[in-house]
């Protein structure tokens, strides 16, 4: 488990960029944390590091699944905020994205944690009392993750 303390958005982007270097096709990244914790800031930095072009990066309009082309992978960015249960999420076909060539980034993954395989990488962001810009960032990877 890795723990970081980010003091501002720029530091979060740097942490996410380093993290992205450890990812490979087939990985599923489950992001959790309250509204405004920085899940989208973190996700966008990961996508940029994976080679998704700036022009392709999301406008703020809501969509549950957005697909992008990365350098050596495709990227699926999901937001499960408005979803309620595992059945609803399963029906959207999310499992198709839990394999190569996809790298999957899921905001509000806690909506249906049970859908995620044990191999999912958990990134939890949390605001820190008393400082608007401080965030704790915890990254949890399965120790014995088997790599194809």
* Sign of the CA dihedral with 8 first, then 15, 41, and 45 last: positive
Site membership for ligand ATP, residue 88 (CB under 6 A): no
Question: Buried (b) or exposed (e) across 37-64, using 16+ Cβ within 10 A?
Answer: bbbbbbbbbbbbbbebeeeeebeeeeee
Site membership for ligand ATP, residue 66 (CB under 6 A): no
Task: Count how many Cα atoms sit within 13 Å of the Cα of residue 56 in the half-sphere of its side chain.
Answer: 17
Binding at 88: pick from ligand ATP, Mg ion, none (beta carbon under 5-8 Å per type): none
Site membership for ligand ATP, residue 9 (CB under 6 A): yes
Question: How near is the Cβ of 147 to Mg ion at its closest, in Å?
Answer: 29
Site membership for ligand ATP, residue 36 (CB under 6 A): yes
Residue numbers at the binding site for ligand ATP (CB under 6 A):
6, 8-9, 12, 33, 35-41, 107, 133, 135
């Amino acid at each position: 488990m890795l723990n970081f303390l980010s003091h501002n958005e720029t530091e979060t982007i740097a942490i996410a960029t380093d993290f992205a270097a450890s990812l490979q096709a087939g990985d599923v990244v489950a992001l959790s944390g309250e509204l405004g914790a920085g899940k989208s800031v973190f996700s966008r930095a990961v996508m940029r590091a994976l080679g998704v072009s700036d022009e392709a990066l999301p406008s703020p309009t809501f969509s549950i699944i957005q697909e992008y082309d990365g350098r050596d992978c495709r990227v699926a960015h999901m937001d499960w905020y408005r979803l309620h249960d595992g059945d609803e999420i399963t029906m959207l076909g999310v499992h198709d994205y839990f394999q190569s060539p996809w790298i999957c980034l899921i905001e509000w993954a806690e909506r249906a944690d049970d859908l995620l395989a044990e191999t999912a990488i958990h990134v939890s962001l949390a605001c820190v009392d008393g400082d608007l810009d401080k965030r704790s960032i915890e990254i949890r990877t399965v120790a014995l993750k088997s790599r194809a």
